[in-house]
């Protein structure tokens, strides 16, 4: 049971996978034979990455999602433990293909080209999510993927909140990134809406400012909209309707932008847990995400 006075956790619910990065100093031409500078195997997945960032930034963090049993699972779960992320509720499936991404990193530009494989691994279900004791959490961040199940999870957290005291209410955030998953349910339900550039562009917005204004009119009155826009930085608007913008933080040389958005989301969550003002939250998010772009992987971002 939750110990009164103990630290409540930030839970990230979504994808974990294995990322295999092939690092080159250029982008390969189709049907040519290339040599890499280095290859990196690391855990990946939006929510797994964000959870690792949240943990590094001093919050108790937990990740929940599904994985296929096997050596690759041991590897990515060990890495999550090393980051200090709890993984006790990860649901393991036997005999499924392991979710993985093959990624080409062009260090000349820092660009990342992702080819993701998730063939037959079942996503987290609502009944699996129901095994959690919500008293342990102060914030639950959802990735907009299997929305039929995820929307029920969001409803369950909202129901929990209705009967909880103000201080025990769980902040709910949701990430709208891939339009194909139709994450629209988040827009009117979550407390913090992360709108990724990819999703905003799909809806016809050409800047983070326009996206933040556009989505702010559709969220709950008490909600905050945050939108990251690559090297253009990020924008946000809270319940007071004031628009904030922060330029991207330059790490000097950009070498690897893989997971910049996941890092940004994790840093925003950690900063909001500290109740910083929204402009400080944005600055912090861009600083941590920018630092990540100047290095490989997610270590040492504190
Ligand atoms: P995603 O990984 O979802 O494509 P973005 O590219 O929108 O995410 O980047 C998220 C955040 O990471 C940006 O708001 C910015 O702060 C930082 N960032 C991304 N690309 C760069 C870059 N080239 N230089 C500095 N910061 C960057
Ligand atoms: C980066 C990332 C990778 C993963 C891919 C899945 O944002 O989470 O770690 O392979 O996206 O789409």
Predicted confidence band of residue 6 (pLDDT cuts 50, 70, 90): low
pLDDT reported for residue 282: 98
Q: Which numbered ligand comes closest to the C-alpha of 263?
A: 1
Going from the Cα of 259 to the center of ligand 2, the distance in angstroms, rounded, reads: 6
Predicted confidence band of residue 2 (pLDDT cuts 50, 70, 90): very low
Q: Which numbered ligand comes closest to the C-alpha of 208?
A: 1
Please report, rounded to a whole number, the percentage of residues in the chain having pLDDT higher than 70.
98
Q: What is the mean pLDDT of residues 168-191?
A: 97
The C-alpha atoms of residue 245 and residue 232 are separated, in whole angstroms, by 10
Among 17, 113, 180, 297, say which to mutate for ligand 2: greatest number of ligand atoms within 8 Å of CB. Answer: 17
The residue contributing the CA closest to ligand 1 atom 3 is 261
Q: What is the mean pLDDT of residues 104-112?
A: 93
Predicted confidence band of residue 101 (pLDDT cuts 50, 70, 90): very high
State the closest ligand 2 atom to the C-alpha of 112, by its place in the atom list counted from 1: 1
Q: What is the pLDDT of residues 115-165, one digit of tens each?
A: 999 889 999 999 999 999 999 999 999 999 999 999 999 999 999 999 999
Predicted confidence band of residue 56 (pLDDT cuts 50, 70, 90): very high
Q: Which numbered ligand comes closest to the C-alpha of 76?
A: 2
State the closest ligand 2 atom to the C-alpha of 101, by its place in the atom list counted from 1: 10
Mean pLDDT of the chain: 96
What residues contact residue 44 under an 8 Å CB cut-off, 6+ apart? 15, 16, 17, 18, 19, 76, 101, 103, 258, 259
Q: What is the mean pLDDT of residues 216-224?
A: 97
CB atoms within 10 A of CB 35: 6
**Is any ligand 1 atom within 6 A of the Cβ of residue 247?**
no
What residues contact residue 255 under an 8 Å CB cut-off, 6+ apart? 105, 107, 110, 293, 294, 295, 296
**Is any ligand 1 atom within 6 A of the Cβ of residue 44?**
no
Q: How many CA atoms lie within 13 A of 256 on its CB side?
A: 18
**Is any ligand 1 atom within 6 A of the Cβ of residue 239?**
no
Give φ, ψ of 280 to 5 degrees: -70, -40
Q: What is the pTM of this model?
A: 0.96
The residue contributing the CA closest to ligand 1 atom 25 is 290
Going from the Cα of 197 to the center of ligand 1, the distance in angstroms, rounded, reads: 10
Q: What is the mean pLDDT of residues 16-35?
A: 96
């Amino acid at each position: 049971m939750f110990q009164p006075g103990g630290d409540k956790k930030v839970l990230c619910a979504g994808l974990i996978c294995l990322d295999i990065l092939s690092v080159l100093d250029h982008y390969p031409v189709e049907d040519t034979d290339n040599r890499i500078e280095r290859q990196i195997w690391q855990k990946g997945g939006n929510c797994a990455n964000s959870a690792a960032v949240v943990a590094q930034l001093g919050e108790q963090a937990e990740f929940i999602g599904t994985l296929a049993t096997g050596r690759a699972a041991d590897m990515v779960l060990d890495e999550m433990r090393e980051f200090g992320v709890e993984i006790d509720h990860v649901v393991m499936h036997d005999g499924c293909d392991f979710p993985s991404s093959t990624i080409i990193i062009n260090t000349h530009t820092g660009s990342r080209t992702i080819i993701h494989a998730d063939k037959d691994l079942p996503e987290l279900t609502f009944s699996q999510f129901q095994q959690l004791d919500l008293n342990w959490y102060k914030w639950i961040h959802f990735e907009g993927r299997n929305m039929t199940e995820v929307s029920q999870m969001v409803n369950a957290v909202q129901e929990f909140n209705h009967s909880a005291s103000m201080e025990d209410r769980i902040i709910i955030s949701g990430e709208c990134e891939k339009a194909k998953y139709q994450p629209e349910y988040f827009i009117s339900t979550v407390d913090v809406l992360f709108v990724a550039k990819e999703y905003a562009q799909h809806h016809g917005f050409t800047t983070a400012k326009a996206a933040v204004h556009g989505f702010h009119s559709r969220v709950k009155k008490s909600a905050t909209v945050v939108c990251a826009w690559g090297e253009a930085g990020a924008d946000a608007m809270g319940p007071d309707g004031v628009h904030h913008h922060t330029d991207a933080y330059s790490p000097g040389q950009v070498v690897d932008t893989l997971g910049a958005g996941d890092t940004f989301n994790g840093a925003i969550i950690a900063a909001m847990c500290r109740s910083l003002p929204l402009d400080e939250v944005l600055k912090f998010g861009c600083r941590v995400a920018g630092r990540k772009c100047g290095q490989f992987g997610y270590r040492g971002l504190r």
